[in-house]
Structure 1
């Protein structure tokens, strides 16, 4: 059988070996998890110290807050629209190489910012280089972890993301020390050097089941071929002409145009076939709305605590630490519980959305200190449920060969929603001049996702249970018939 496969299809043997491998759910996979945690701690946490690093320097350059907001928004834009390239990149190259490239881009972007003298230097360095680099890191590291885990995938992703949370706790103190003792330039250069330590982690990203070699390069060669060369390499085509049709009316065989071939290659490279699935649309748009509401809440939460709730700076920092602390703890503990109970990733994501909605509404209605502290903890817990299960929800819905493209399309949807809905949330805050109204609008967005997802998930669950019950009944009937035949 194996000789037949190898003789008829040279690539078939590799595919069979790949599919026969057993996912270890651990082993070397935990080294991969530790490597990804290191990459996240030294690169993904860079986003949390933007204001600490650059706002003071921008003020010395006499730039207003609009410039700082523009830099962060363009960074988010580049980060999410890197999804346009991430699918073909992971298919054509190893996730290890893509993650290493992302670390180099982050380091290069920060190095450019260290020597920046005008605002556009920060836009080029931080917005585009750092943003695009971070966009390459997240899906490629997830793909590396995904190949080593199945039932323990949630806790593996949670531990790797806890590295980013740990970096968000430790790196601000390092940045403060460097700014006070060495100044802006050396502080940013130190962050640039720190991001390069992610290359050490990327060296350990060895996927257990490397993805099948994609034919992107072959696609490019085919596009470069002339039509004449392609027709020479194809077998002779015979056109049958009906007797009542003259030879001058013979219809020539239809040939693909360059545009159609390019479109076909683009669809294959980016897995655009996923866009035919309405459930996939619901998933990526819903997650993009939650992502946008989370970013907006992070921006307004300190102002809400200081101006609306009337807390001093020490209590504001305490409440924000409660959010971060609960987030880190739940990133470690929540996947253990959900994996043990075998709760679907999307259901856990939905519970997180509902919890964030409740926290927003309670904060808008009551600004007592005990309520704020408890809702800060709830926000951190529910935020971890959405962050951990973001890519996991995509992986549960997409086939393995379509996962890279699915992650890229999800990132692009976030970029589009951030530009549109995110800007709308900012306009609401400025127009209403109220943090409470902004919290209610965020809650409305989260409620829409809950109302759309809940009936769909319930319907699919009922349908799956009905199918499982029917198959079990069929098997029992067949077994009873076999027993009856044996008794005869």
Structure 2
């Protein structure tokens, strides 16, 4: 319609579902191998005489590299876009997996699987999530749940695939084939088209020129206000000028007096010298300019946001427990007498519960309009309790039920993990917020991950090691609980004070 302007917004669907498919392909190709690490690398690590610490070192470096790549992935996505960064990351990760098939030492595995593959995973997965986040507004939780269901679907199938590949092709052939399957992530990255190509008019925000014309009186009022503001600002400038003159004691009476003229000149000179001293030097100006550019480039002002800072620290602690639990689960199941086939079935059972949760629960949470952080907070607490309970079980039906429940809770928690971070920052800073989150996760995994492996070797107990992971999760839930409690107390105090003010105004 002529004379009508429409605001363009993300489609909240449309090509966004193709971006969801692309993100799912990236996840299923690059991260579905994680729970099967012990199953795939177990025999190779035994041949190399690598202990549990060595296994946690490989996983720890992988997770650290994935997360520390966040220092560069945020600015890179801003510069080159999600699709290019996704394709580069997918190619690097697949190359690392293919080269790992020729591994003959733990150092070789770390260089190819952990470092090269980790950089690729960090770039590709971050690009996928940022692209998906930009396409959706109301349906964001459902889209993230569907895309992450791809990861869980891969985790459900991968243990069986790994088990069969090891039987027929041994370690080297199995890793080579899995590296080829991972190339599907390149196709997924190609689907991450820029959201600017698919923007649609927002039906709820139409700015009509006819409406502006009908409100002509308001426009005239605005003009009068502008004039009044200009008058005030001019008056303010005149006042400030006179105040500046008075600060140097320039008065009309002193003009006729020679001594006062000399005094006036001296004070004016002193005032100019003080102004020159207060002006920053060229070096200070250059440093301040460089500092401001760095802060703006990496969005480091996010670190002054207490809510965001508490969120990323809590998520980092949870990620520390999650990454090590995935690695140690096959070894724990083997320690209670399970054979590789049974271990693969248990991992698939957990993944099945996980994928069902990611497909169904986001829609329920969307209808209930629950905050992502609070859902993550409750579910992560239950995850810790579930895993510590599992650590005390032996092979049997109770263990199977616990694994299903654990998979259900894990699906809820991981679906809301990144959304909890984006909920704590402005939409324009999502890429940088996720990048800093990855750095925090890397710090925790690199710094404390090997400690969990040492706990297992020192104590000789997988149960104590799993309880240590639960302790890490409980630190997260405790810090968030304190924050929620403080905010709730302040909210009630503010509401009570507002009621008191309202009651007083009525009395007056």
TM-score by length of 1: 0.78
1:268-323: CA deviation from partner (whole Å, max 9, x where unpaired) = 1211111111211110111111111122333333444443x555655544433332
Equivalent residue for 1:8?
none
Q: CA deviation at 1:388?
A: 0.8
Decide whether aligned partners of structure 1 residues 177 and 369 sit closer, same or farther in structure 2, where only a CA change above 3 A counts.
Answer: closer
Equivalent residue for 1:122?
109
Q: Which moved more, 1:378-387 or 1:361-370?
A: 361-370
Equivalent residue for 2:146?
159
Equivalent residue for 1:104?
91
Determine if the alignment matches structure 1 residue 191 to structure 2 residue 178: yes
1:86 touches 1:136 (CA, 8 Å); kept in 2?
Answer: yes
2:56 touches 2:449 (CA, 8 Å); kept in 1?
Answer: no
Equivalent residue for 1:268?
296
User: Equivalents in 1 of 2:174, 2:448: separation in Å?
Assistant: 34
Q: Which moved more, 1:266-275 or 1:313-322?
A: 313-322
User: Equivalents in 2 of 1:463, 1:157: separation in Å?
Assistant: 32
**1:310-349 correspondence runs (5 A):** 315-349=342-376
Q: Which moved more, 1:86-95 or 1:448-457?
A: 448-457
| Greater Rg by CA | 2
Decide whether aligned partners of structure 1 residues 381 and 33 sit closer, same or farther in structure 2, where only a CA change above 3 A counts.
Answer: same
2:383 touches 2:406 (CA, 8 Å); kept in 1?
Answer: yes
User: Equivalents in 1 of 2:184, 2:19: separation in Å?
Assistant: 15
Decide whether aligned partners of structure 1 residues 26 and 359 sit closer, same or farther in structure 2, where only a CA change above 3 A counts.
Answer: same
User: Equivalents in 2 of 1:334, 1:324: separation in Å?
Assistant: 15
Determine if the alignment matches structure 1 residue 286 to structure 2 residue 272: no
Q: Indicate which of 23, 33, 50 corresponds to 1:64.
A: 50
1:208-235: CA deviation from partner (whole Å, max 9, x where unpaired) = 248xxxxxxxxxxxxxxxxxxxxxxxxx
User: Equivalents in 2 of 1:257, 1:326: separation in Å?
Assistant: 58
**1:470-485 correspondence runs (5 A):** none
4+ runs of 1 displaced by more than 6 Å? Answer: 246-249, 464-474
1:103 touches 1:137 (CA, 8 Å); kept in 2?
Answer: yes
User: Equivalents in 2 of 1:190, 1:470: separation in Å?
Assistant: 66
TM-score by length of 2: 0.75
Q: CA deviation at 1:176?
A: 4.4
In structure 2, list runs of 5 or more residues that go unmatched: 198-247, 249-265, 502-508
User: Equivalents in 2 of 1:67, 1:423: separation in Å?
Assistant: 9
Give the count of matched residue pairs. Answer: 428
**Larger RCO of the pair (alpha carbons < 8 Å, separation 6+):** 2
Q: CA deviation at 1:162?
A: 1.0
RMSD over aligned Cα, in angstroms?
3.4
Equivalent residue for 1:138?
125
Decide whether aligned partners of structure 1 residues 311 and 188 sit closer, same or farther in structure 2, where only a CA change above 3 A counts.
Answer: closer
1:56-86: CA deviation from partner (whole Å, max 9, x where unpaired) = 44555x4523544433222111111111111
Q: CA deviation at 1:120?
A: 3.1
Determine if the alignment matches structure 1 residue 418 to structure 2 residue 445: yes
Equivalent residue for 1:5?
none
Secondary structure of 2:423 counterpart: helix
